[in-house]
Structure 1
Amino acid sequence: MRKLRSAVALILIAAMSLSLAACGGVKEYNKDSFVSVLKNDLKIADDQIYEAENDGTQNNFPVATIVTAKYNESRINAYFCQDASKAKAYFDERFQHFQDTFDKNNQFKGSSVTGSTDNSGYIVIKGDMPGTDLFGALYQAGSVYGGLYYSGNMIIMVLSDNTDGYDDVEAFIKAMGLPNV
Structure 2
Amino acid sequence: MVQQICNLEDADLCKWILASIAVVYRPITLKELASLVEVLDDMGDDLESIREIVSLCGSFLTIRGCTIYFLHQSAKDFLFAKASDEIFPSGREEAHYVIFSRSLQVMSRTLRRDMYSLHALGYPIKRVEYPDPDPLAASRYLCVYWVDHLCDWNPNSSASYRDNLQDRGTVDSFIRKKYLYWLEALSLCKSMKEQMHPH
Compute the TM-score of the two structures, normalised by the length of structure 2: 0.24
